[in-house]
Amino acid sequence: MTAQIFCLRSQKAIARKVESLLRKHVYADIEVDLKEISDDYNTWSDYKEHEHCRLFLKLFKASMLRVDDFAIVVSDGRGRWYYMGGRYENEPLLLELLQSAMPSVFPAVAIMNRMMMMPYAVGDAFEKTRVFPWFVKPRDLEGLVLTDFQHADSVEDAVRQVDIQLRADIAKLSKRHALLRKIEAPDFVELGQLLKISTDYLEAHREQLAAPWARLTCEIASAAVRVGVESEVVLRVRYESNEPLGLVFVRVNAPYGVMDGSF
């Protein structure tokens, strides 16, 4: 499991604190990639910083609802501005970010290629915030946790929320993986390869990640029907599992060629 922490150089101590909390609450062996950005980021920043900003923009955009694509221009407050990421790709909309307001956007924490934590003030960080409507989604809807990185309790609470969300997301993926593979127990080796997560992490949370398997058997309970005559077919569906489930959704597909366009 890998985390990226995007931070200004002046925020490196905060980033290291976040790293220690990720190891404490999420996974002790999590790989953390610290992506530093200059406080006076501009066109002449080095190539690595531009790469960091491009990845940040990609993950930031994926975490929000917006009317269209946009670019961020960083302004030094003296009439000079620079495209974040070092280039413009014909985005129809712009957000302006003053260099002095960059601490309202960073640090930002991403895990498993998804932005998970950003500062509370991100919604008011940009000079042209109201030019077009946008907002970051909540964590349970493929969004993130907003936190106050200046207060240790707030950061630790946010990391705990991230841990809960990660396990919930991985549990859903584990269930879908087992369903598509038609296996009753999750294959954590293959799932770990797909998600780039250690099997040790998956095994440690097996009880939460291994969803109960629902085996359904079906038989026709009604009498024979005649071809070309409207008939009612009754199916008896039986659920077999050691794990009780409160609700099971069943979809029945008619044999190929039976249903024509009149139904």
The pLDDT tens digits of the residues spanning 173-200 come to 888 888 888 887 788 899 899 998 988 8
**Domain contains 260:** no
**Is residue 50 assigned to a domain?**
yes
The number of distinct structural domains making up the chain is: 1
Asked, for residue 194, whether it belongs to a domain, the answer is no
Q: Is the pTM of this model over 0.85?
A: no
Q: State which residues form the domain around 44.
A: 2-141
Per residue in 100-154, pLDDT (tens digit) is: 999 999 999 999 889 999 999 998 888 865 578 889 999 888 889 999 999 999 9
Evaluate whether residue 95 is within a structural domain.
yes
Number of H helices, E strands in the chain: 6, 12
Which residue from 124, 162, 134 is spatially nearest to 60, judged by alpha carbons? Answer: 134
Question: Would residue 9 count as lying in a domain?
Answer: yes
- Select from 108, 14, 98 the least CA-distant residue to 60: 108
Please tell me whether the peptide bond between 107 and the residue prior to it is cis, using omega within 30 degrees of 0: yes
Tell me the C-alpha distance between 175 and 155, whole Å: 30
